[in-house]
Structure 1
Amino acid sequence: MAAVLEIRDLEVCYQGVIQALSSLSLRVSEGSIVALLGANGAGKTTTLKAISGFLPLENGRVTRGSITIGGEDVLKLAPHKIVRRGIFHVREGRHVFSEMTVEENLIASTFAQRSPRSRKDAFDEVYNYFPILSQRRNQAAGYLSGGEQQMLAIGRALVADPEMILLDEPSLGLAPLIVSEIFEIIARINREKRVSMLLVEQNAVIALKYASYGYVIENGRSVLEGPTEDLANNQDIQKFYLGVETDEAA
């Protein structure tokens, strides 16, 4: 299948000296969910920030390699132009506008819409996937539960009608039942809207369940990749990411 996103030999440095990524390559095909796994500090979030253009905000920059979206090199594009090419970054920690209402948070994403559609249609779609947000539409986002805030963060992405969503730790700080509910909706969005996803997730069990392909990165480079079914059966993955005791002598 055609690639929505392709990264080749990417190298990223912070403050000109701290190397965060080294020769990282990955690919996200149209309509797929791809998981990016690794320990804390491996470079997962840096990868998403490189794609969405956020690196300069943290004194980081790409020093080598390429990032293409739909075949177009986007390395020199500002974040707002990348969003308008259909890539929406749902950041770790949700980052909703806490003093604004749910609906005002959704309004804030209308600037990023790639094609014109009515505000009502866009919001109705969000409320279809996340009915609780419809009930909370006039409530300040800061008073939502953690799960509801995560739903709102994903809802803002939907308003922009994205081709791909970058999801950074969507399960962070949430109860298991809420995590399962949110991932079921993520899978439904992927299935029904054919929105591609690049998923960074510490919960490897759920990441491998919902993604079709995965990459494992260590020290800023990819060390393993493959269909998630194969990764889930890999003894190293089972031991270090899934908490499964493996019999290496078998």
Structure 2
Amino acid sequence: MNEFAIGGDLTVHRLGFGAMHLPTESGPARENAIAVARRAVELGVTLIDTAHLYGGGANEELLAEALHPYPEDLVVTTKVGVVRTGDDWKYDARPESLRVQVDDGLRRLRVERIELLQLHRIDPETPLADQLGALRDLRDEGKIGRIGLSEVTVDELARAREIVDIASVQNRYSLLDRSYEAVLDACEAAGIAFLPWRPVLGAASKATAGIAVVAAELGVTTAQVGLAWLLARSPVILPIPGTTKIAHLEENFAAAEIKLTDEHLRRLGT
């Protein structure tokens, strides 16, 4: 199936879009970025990922300019807990800071509720219970629909779930980078959405002979094989590939229709 219900009730197409690389400065680059975001929705993307960190909120504002008022089935998920300080960034998931970041996200995205809000990174200087407790309070106030995590271990996920319901995990993962395999397995066992970031970079830039052969047999690109493999790997995986080009976006989304056989999956090392 090409759909998944995040948190059990927020249904999205399993192949989403990562907006991080969309240019936000004024001019032709911004106009193109808006066109890319709109084309993603036209293709059927219903999950778009952004973050407070991306451009210090400029990425959120770009998506609102491009897509607001949002289609009823579109979920724009954002992340908090990492903030910019000049040209640098730092972890900041203190409760008072998270509240400000969420309020800023609501304003920039022009919504009254963020259906999926993810903690971009666990702040090592703030007790986990305080970080997630603040997000739980914001959820109870109606400003957040569901809470997710990013770049966490199995143990961190388990500890987080003792504090609050976790609807998603966003960790780095791809056909050629499976370091978070155990986290994916834990998410699958619990029915938690797993959003792999950088889902095709490895398959696109360092394609092994085996990936290239499968791609040639199917008449597709190695990047498409990487995305198709992710969709076949687990029903809870929701890849969020990003791009600044419409042609690449269309190529990525077409990967949802690629069917890998059991033999293909065996050769790819599933």
Common fold by TM > 0.5: no
RCO comparison, higher one (Cα < 8 Å, 6+): 1
Q: Please report the TM-score for the alignment, with normalisation by the length of structure 1.
A: 0.45
Query: Which of the pair is proportionally richer in helix?
Result: 2
